[in-house]
Amino acid sequence: MEIKKYSRKSFVSKVGKSTFYTALASVLPIKFLSSKNFIRNRVDIHIHPYAVKRNNKV
């Protein structure tokens, strides 16, 4: 049976390339970096301090 020869060099090269492309494709680092620095367009809402409520439903 013929076994395809797989040298150490080509194995390491394959693993290295896969790791590189996986890291590139992974958005996890992007999420990590962006979530802290992302300028949040948050809207803060507050109840008006002087509003007088009435809680009878119609």
Partner 1 sequence: MNDNRNSNDMKKDFWKSIKDYNDDPEVLEVKANEFMEGVTDDFDESKLSGISRRKFIALLSASTAFAATACTDYRDKGEIVPYNKRPEEILTGKANYYASTCTGCSQSCGILVKTREGRPIKIDGNPDHPINNGKTCAKGQASILNLYDPERLKYPMIQGRRSDWKNVDQEIISQLNDSKKLNKEISIVTGTLVSPAMKKLFDDFTSQYPNTKVYQIGLVSDQIRREAWLESYGSYDYPAIKFEEATIILSLDSDFLGNEGSFIENMQKYTKKREVIDKVSFNRLYVAEGRMSVTGAMADYRISISPDLQYQFVLMLMGELIKSGSAINLSNDILSKINSVSGDLKIDKTKVAHLLKDLNSNRGKSIIYAGDTLSNDVHVAVNLLNEILGNTTLYDYSSSFKSLMHYAKAEELSQLVDSMNNDKVGVVIHLDSNPVFTLPADFGYESALKKVTATISLTEAVNETSTLCKYALPINNQLESWGDANYRSSVYSLQQPVIAPIFDTRQKEAVMLTWISGEPSTYKDDVYHKYLMSYFNNSAYSKRNRLSDEKSFWYSALHDGVISYEEEIQRSSFRLNSFINTKQDFQSNGYTVHLTESYFVGDGRFANNGWLHEVPHPINKITWDNYASISPALAKELNVEMNDLIEISSEGKTLTLPVLVQPGMADKTINIELGYGRTVVGDVGNNVGFNAIGLMTKNYSSSPFVNNNVSISKVNGKHKLVSTQEHHSLDDTFVKDFHRIRKIIQEGTVEEYNNDPHFLHHEKHEVFGITREHKYTGVKWAMSIDLNKCTSCTACITSCNVENNIPVVGKDQVERGREMHWMRLDRYYSGTPEDPIISNQPMLCQHCDNAPCENVCPVNATNHSPDGLNQMAYNRCVGTRYCSNNCPYKVRRYNFFDFRDHFEDEYYQNNLTALINNPEVTVRSRGVMEKCTFCVQRIMEARSDAIAEGRELKGADVVTACQQACPTNAIVFGDANDPESRISKLRKHNLAYHVLEELNIKPNVTYIAKLRNTHPEEN
Binding site for partner 1 (CB under 8 A): 25-28, 30-31, 34-35, 38, 40-58
CA distance 2 to 24: 36
Q: How far is the CB of 5 from partner 1 (least distance, A)?
A: 26
Give the Cα-Cα-Cα angle 31, 14, 18 (nearest 5 degrees): 10
Residue nearer to partner 1 on the CB measure, 19 or 34: 34
Tell me the two tokens of residue 11: 């194995």
- Can you tell me which residue has the tokens 């962006």? 34
Residue nearer to partner 1 on the CB measure, 3 or 28: 28
Q: How far is the CB of 23 from partner 1 (least distance, A)?
A: 10
